[in-house]
Amino acid sequence: MARHLLVATLLIVALGAACAPSADAPRLDVQQLSESVSFYPRETGARWAYVRDGAALDGIRYVETVDGPTVIDGDVWIAFRLVGGGQDVTHYRQFRSDGVYLRRQVRPGATIDFDPPIREMPGQGELRVGLTWRGETVADQRYPSAAPGLQRITVPVEYVYTVVDSRPVTVAGATYDVFVIDRTVRQYDEDGAVSDELVRTTWFEPFVGTVRHENGWFLVETNVRSAAP
């Protein structure tokens, strides 16, 4: 059962709820960053809020915020914290000339390190329809509160990303020009057989960020301003 926890941590799911605002309820106050963002936004303070497909706009939101740089094993990584619907997950990423890399994922009771880091996105000059990139890593999963023998598990993982389309989409009244990216993650057992497979789709707009989260959430609010020419 513990070997299936990796795929579970890659899926962050929750139920949404709606409530009617009162006349005296606080009003929406959107504050934008004071600086232009990067092609792959990672500036400290950047914020994106999502809701489930079909959920009310004033229902439960899943909010991701760039907390800023931190040091892991002597290297600087940028922390992205995602909260909402009972979730609290932090991803540690590094932005290099050849793409975006995921080094660590932390959630209550679990830390997962990827060695080598997962290449989540290609170099910005490479991003185009038809592009495929892949890799292999080992997920070092640590569960301090688990039963003896289950506190640390290492699992081989293979991943494949494909940019399948580029198109305009309208979400919550805003229009974005997104790349549609499919991701397949395969987890292997001791015999080298596939024990789990996860397929997810995201929408990404350069200089804005993720418009459709891989869990089926959609962007409804952000303080990121596009710096696209």
pLDDT at 25: 55
- Token duo for residue 113: 């390190």
pLDDT digit string, tens, across residues 135-162: 999 999 999 998 888 899 999 999 999 9
Residue 9 has pLDDT above 60, yes or no: no
Residue 96 has pLDDT above 90, yes or no: yes
Average pLDDT for residues 186-192, to the nearest whole number?
80
Measured CA to CA, the distance from residue 73 to residue 76 in angstroms comes to 8
pLDDT digit string, tens, across residues 206-228: 999 999 999 999 999 999 976 44
Does residue 122 have a cis peptide bond before it, meaning omega lies within 30 degrees of 0?
A: no
- Token duo for residue 213: 């989260």
Q: Report the half-sphere exposure of 76 (CA within 13 A, side-chain side).
A: 6
Measured CA to CA, the distance from residue 185 to residue 155 in angstroms comes to 12
Residue 129 has pLDDT above 50, yes or no: yes
Q: Report the half-sphere exposure of 36 (CA within 13 A, side-chain side).
A: 8
Residue 26 has pLDDT above 70, yes or no: no
Q: Which has the higher per-residue pLDDT, 184 or 22?
A: 184
Average pLDDT for residues 51-58, to the nearest whole number?
90
